[in-house]
Structure 1
Amino acid sequence: MLSDNFWRIIRIGLVGLVLAAAVAGLVLGDAWLWVAVEWSPPAYAGLYENGEFDTLTTAALLVAALVKAAFLWLILRAPAPGPLDRREKALRRLLYLAVAYTLVLRYPIALLPDAVDAAFQLALWTAIDVLYLLVIRWRSRVLRATAGAMFAVNLAAIADELLDELDLPELGSGDIVELGFMLGGVATIAITVIGQWRDGRWSRGTQIAGWSSVGSHALVIPLSILLGSISGGYLAILVTMDAVWLVGAVWIAATARELPVEGRPADLPPARRRVPRIAVAAVAVLPIIALVHPEQTPHLTYTGWSMDCYDRPSFGDLKPAERDAAFLCRARSTDGGVPPMFPDSLSDQGVLAYGRALCRAKDRDEQEAILTRAGSTRPAWGADPWDLVYVCPEIVGATHPELLRSTAETEAANTAYIAEENAKCHDPWPRTKGVVQATANYFLFADGDHGYLVHDPGDEAVGEAAERAIDKLYDDRTLIGVAGSAVLVGHVEDVVDLCLTVKALRTAPPRRTAGWDQVNEVPIVSRSGRLTVPEMGEGGEVGAGAPMPNLAIAGKGRYRLRVYVRVDAGEEQHLVVVFPGASRKRLQLKP
């Protein structure tokens, strides 16, 4: 152990350096004064933006220099002599590490990611709190259990900060939870001081420092109100609170210094045992009371922000604990500029309760009445099953089982459905083999779809050509719009899909109009050497259900496109035959 003379030299040297640096900073300028007193760069956390401090901030820095020098004198006292067991040695070293962090280590650690700082704090104080429970002679199982509970609350607050830095779901949210965590930190100090008093080895001065550390937390609000109302008070608040918070380091250092067991009394008199009971009860009950609030206060247990509300995950992809948050995303969504389903003033629990009530509504009118009671600005819209499935899957799933699927299950079901629909379509010219050909179901929009395109996807002007083809679709009864590299073929009946066969031949085939209702032939040009029919893309609802070949088998140039159409028992079948041809005439072969 270092000698008392060495500690005395260290104390005199460091305290003298702090005071001398403050005087030099006053002479050299505000930046030097800030570094001398706050022990951090003047631009740290963006605090020093203008050229000089106001009078209030300068005065606060000078007073803080004196206060910090006095505290540093108390912190750097030599450890008390005496034997220590293994646990006490570990506790002393960790306490001195905590003091070093408060004084100097927090600034270099702040250069690292915030998650590193939070993880370091959690590991350090977990070890210290465990050793507190083992080293301090609490002399009461109730007191030890209460201390353990308060330590757990304090560690939960640090863990919550770590989860926040890692962008993971937090243990709690809202001002009430934050207040509970803050009171838990104050209670942790208070219960430790009570334990020191009952233990008997720590001096009255150490206990006073501990209670002063508790009081420093109570000064936060009044100091903020007092100095925040004064011009330039922001920096003064930071300087003042930084100096006041150092009293905690004084108490921690004194706790480490007085750990040896020499002179500790064997037991406490009965009078001293009874006094802490009221304090222990108050410390245990106070955080619980603070967490109790009126029923009309919104409870924000679920915020919906644990997942990305811009995504819309399938019900089957979510864990049960995530489904309420998914519904809150829908209920509070304003996508597209539409008002949310529920007002912002309604708590999350209220939104969930009204959501389950909507599930039980018999019709839209009852849903409108529920939304009106909830204060919705759009009650007439009601609620859709794909939103409600997250809060009542057992009700929605009975009538819409497809909404319970995961993304993989939905894709598998869609693939199976498309394959089944494709299997219903057959080649109407099985003996005439094309150079390339394909048969598939072509899926249309249920309402308002003009038909399908045969086009050159490599033509830069194909978009404009498609628009012109749409404009020409209804020029005659053939329902075929022609515009350069795009031909739009309309459907005869009001159908949502049709069977489509495409074939590319090297020469014009025989007409073979028997059995068909309409047969028309039109010109089309390929400028890039490609002609095809759009396929149903990933997640799409329109297009061919199977890969479509390139029908421009002769490369770039002009082609003829013959379209066969027939309707049988409400089902529409199309055959498209493409072959090279320079003619630009439109031919109506049937009727």
Structure 2
Amino acid sequence: MLGDAWLWVAVEWSPPTWFRPHDGFDTPTTVALLVAALVKAAFLWLILRAPAPGPLDRRARALRRLLYLAVAYTLVLWYPIALLPDAVDAAIRLALWTAIDVLYLLVIRWRSRVLRAAAGAVFAVELAGMANELLDELDLPELGPGGVVGPVLMLAGVAATVLTVVGQRRDGRWSRGTQIAGWSSVGVYALAIPLNVLLFGRIPSGGLAISVVMDAAGLVSTVWIAATARELPVGGHRADPPPVRRRVMRIAVATAAVLPVIALIHPEQTPHLTYTGWSMGCYDRPDFGDLKPAERDAAFLCRARGTDGGVPPMFPDSLSDQQILAYGRMLCRAKDRAEQEALLKRAGSARSGWSVDPWDLVYVCPEVVGVTHPELLWSAEEREAANTAYITEANARCRDPWPRTKGVAQATANYFLFADGDPGYLVHDPRDEAGEETAERAIDELYEDNALIGAAGSAVLVGHIEDVADLCLTVKAFRTAPPPRTAGWDQVTEVPVVSRSGLLTVPEMDGGDVGAGAPMPNLAIAGKGRYRIRVYVRVGDAGEEHLVAVFPGESRRRLKLKR
């Protein structure tokens, strides 16, 4: 739109193709541009005021010219220089500010050697950062990584401004208005980070309106530089305005600074979204017991708006935080699944045909969910302790079926399987490079032959007879083949296996949900080579029980000692 293009050029002093949306500016951006126009017009009037009369020595005259050159660079010269290579721009800024900083040290009456030395050190750090930027543009080795030099340069710029304003105050040549402009430029530095972090993404039009506000506020540093150049003559500055006029000026400046922020605040009818499924605070999923009461609502909002696994969120973004929390508490009081589905449908949920899980609702109504699911109220420490106790209890019910026949290496533990179906457990060489391929072949053999055991290379997959979630497993390694001893067992099968790395073992839980509940030994007691695995299986009152005997053997035959 032509009107938007002219508005952008008039306020931002840059071509309309820079940052201008093709469909025109929205209301907040337009308001920000109009307010920025007034602020920048006032600043421009201050910048263009005539220099104060009075004599200047050679150094002060050079400093004034360089400061006005810096002002011209900020207002006008930046555009033609931007058409040149970036290295040229970096070199010009480095040369300009090197000269200005040196003359600052010579012209300002610091009245303190320590203050002058501190200013010199800060100026040096600031210039080193600019030099690092030039080296980066020239593809030369830098003074340090950009992630470190960037913040250091920013802090050095702030410190340089602070020390310069302090020096101006001690010098006595510069008026209170000039010093206020200097301190205001420091305030803009301090405001830039929180304004971008806190408001970006929460106001309409995103960063475009913020860039307009920050561009207008950033011009105050140019006002300070121009005022510094204007009041260089000794005794040349004008007297400070009377108190009434100063109060009026403060009110005007405060109004101009606050109005853009007020104009960018959401109207009340727009929902305030504290957390979405992509919010940084939602990536961690702490246990209920580890959260403070004030943090539980936020945890529920994360889950209500989350899209983990590609599922739609529980509630649409058109609902505010408080509306979602209210719906969550109503879901807690729902009598059955049908009532929950009705509530979700009324809320406009994309998954209204689903019920809500108690581990989500526990964050908004722990007093309700805790009655039927007390484990959901645990902290991570309590959950870990309960899990450890459960594993210990499960291991304790398993007994060694051959207590008098000791193996060179042996262990007895409960083996936990997937609750929704698991083909069995592996006895394998975990260091074999072809381990995944051999495991897949073992699974295929297990299903194709409808056998209890599938064997392929360095992997043996042992299935289970009953549809169980866990079983008692004993593994023993022998130097020679033990006696068959098939009495009392339902099935006994012997298959070959190879250890290419000198390791044969059974997977352990190791913090997961599947695996042996206790450490498993290395069953390849003779090192690399071929072994035989004899698997005993029986089902009794105590559940399903397996005994795995491993011993060296070259035979590649598959033997069914008992069916």
TM-score (norm 1): 0.60
Amino acid at match of 1:523: V
CA deviations on 1:542-568 (whole Å, 9 max, x unpaired) are 211122223233444444433322222
Look up the SS of the partner of 1:419 in the other structure. Answer: helix
**2:398·2:472 contact (CA, 8 Å) conserved in 1?**
yes
Of 506, 520, 538 in structure 1, the residue corresponding to residue 492 of structure 2 is 520
In 2 relative to 1, CA 505–13 (structure 1 residues): closer, same or farther, beyond 3 Å? closer
Look up the SS of the partner of 2:533 in the other structure. Answer: strand
Of 303, 310, 313 in structure 2, the residue corresponding to residue 340 of structure 1 is 313
Amino acid at match of 2:313: P
In 2 relative to 1, CA 561–273 (structure 1 residues): closer, same or farther, beyond 3 Å? closer
Q: 2:551 aligned with 1:575, yes or no?
A: no
Percentage identity across paired residues of the two chains: 56
Amino acid at match of 2:536: Y
- Partners of 1:422 and 1:474 lie apart in 2 by 29
1:425 deviation in Å?
1.3
Amino acid at match of 2:534: R
* Aligned positions of 1:14-163 closer than 5 A: 42-44=84-86, 113-120=149-156, 157-158=191-192, 160=194
The aligned counterpart of 2:271 is 298
In 2 relative to 1, CA 17–408 (structure 1 residues): closer, same or farther, beyond 3 Å? closer
| Larger CA deviation: 172-181 vs 300-309 | 172-181
The aligned counterpart of 1:435 is 408
In 2 relative to 1, CA 159–18 (structure 1 residues): closer, same or farther, beyond 3 Å? closer
Look up the SS of the partner of 1:119 in the other structure. Answer: helix
Look up the SS of the partner of 1:380 in the other structure. Answer: coil
Amino acid at match of 1:175: I
C-alpha RMSD of matched pairs (Å) = 5.8
**2:477·2:551 contact (CA, 8 Å) conserved in 1?**
yes
1:496 deviation in Å?
0.8
Of 147, 167, 175 in structure 1, the residue corresponding to residue 203 of structure 2 is 175
The aligned counterpart of 2:30 is none
**1:315·1:406 contact (CA, 8 Å) conserved in 2?**
yes
In 2 relative to 1, CA 477–529 (structure 1 residues): closer, same or farther, beyond 3 Å? same
Look up the SS of the partner of 1:370 in the other structure. Answer: helix
* Aligned positions of 1:229-308 closer than 5 A: 246-247=222-223, 249-251=225-227, 286=259, 289-290=262-263, 293-302=266-275, 307=280
- Partners of 1:554 and 1:426 lie apart in 2 by 26
Q: 2:561 aligned with 1:509, yes or no?
A: no
In 2 relative to 1, CA 119–430 (structure 1 residues): closer, same or farther, beyond 3 Å? same
Amino acid at match of 1:534: V
Q: 2:520 aligned with 1:548, yes or no?
A: yes
1:451 deviation in Å?
1.8
- Partners of 2:506 and 2:360 lie apart in 1 by 32
The aligned counterpart of 2:45 is none
In 2 relative to 1, CA 172–121 (structure 1 residues): closer, same or farther, beyond 3 Å? farther
In 2 relative to 1, CA 311–255 (structure 1 residues): closer, same or farther, beyond 3 Å? farther
- Partners of 2:443 and 2:164 lie apart in 1 by 77
Q: 2:399 aligned with 1:426, yes or no?
A: yes
1:512 deviation in Å?
3.2
* Aligned positions of 1:162-561 closer than 5 A: 170=198, 174-175=202-203, 217=216, 246-247=222-223, 249-251=225-227, 286=259, 289-290=262-263, 293-302=266-275, 307=280, 312-315=285-288, 326-347=299-320, 350-390=323-363, 395-407=368-380, 409-473=382-446, 479-514=452-487, 516-528=488-500, 530=502, 532-561=504-533
Amino acid at match of 1:4: L
- Partners of 1:256 and 1:408 lie apart in 2 by 67
In 2 relative to 1, CA 459–287 (structure 1 residues): closer, same or farther, beyond 3 Å? closer
**2:408·2:477 contact (CA, 8 Å) conserved in 1?**
yes
In 2 relative to 1, CA 43–406 (structure 1 residues): closer, same or farther, beyond 3 Å? farther
- Partners of 1:398 and 1:45 lie apart in 2 by 68
- Partners of 1:571 and 1:400 lie apart in 2 by 27
- Residue ranges of structure 2 left out of the alignment (5+ in a row): 1-53, 91-99, 135-145
1:440 deviation in Å?
0.7
- Partners of 1:14 and 1:482 lie apart in 2 by 83
The aligned counterpart of 2:19 is none
**1:519·1:562 contact (CA, 8 Å) conserved in 2?**
no
**1:438·1:548 contact (CA, 8 Å) conserved in 2?**
yes
1:115 deviation in Å?
2.5
**1:456·1:528 contact (CA, 8 Å) conserved in 2?**
yes
CA deviations on 1:336-383 (whole Å, 9 max, x unpaired) are 443333334445555555445444444433333333333332222343
- Partners of 2:198 and 2:325 lie apart in 1 by 20
Residues matched between the structures, number: 472
In 2 relative to 1, CA 467–379 (structure 1 residues): closer, same or farther, beyond 3 Å? same
| Larger CA deviation: 432-441 vs 250-259 | 250-259
1:497 deviation in Å?
0.7
In 2 relative to 1, CA 487–107 (structure 1 residues): closer, same or farther, beyond 3 Å? closer
1:125 deviation in Å?
7.4
Look up the SS of the partner of 1:175 in the other structure. Answer: coil
**1:18·1:37 contact (CA, 8 Å) conserved in 2?**
no
Q: 2:40 aligned with 1:4, yes or no?
A: no
CA deviations on 1:418-457 (whole Å, 9 max, x unpaired) are 2222122111211111121111111111122122222344
- Partners of 1:127 and 1:322 lie apart in 2 by 43
TM-score (norm 2): 0.62
1:332 deviation in Å?
3.9
In 2 relative to 1, CA 556–281 (structure 1 residues): closer, same or farther, beyond 3 Å? closer
- Partners of 1:459 and 1:18 lie apart in 2 by 68
1:464 deviation in Å?
3.9
- Partners of 2:193 and 2:168 lie apart in 1 by 19
1:44 deviation in Å?
3.7
The aligned counterpart of 2:24 is none
| Larger CA deviation: 374-383 vs 352-361 | 352-361
**2:276·2:282 contact (CA, 8 Å) conserved in 1?**
no
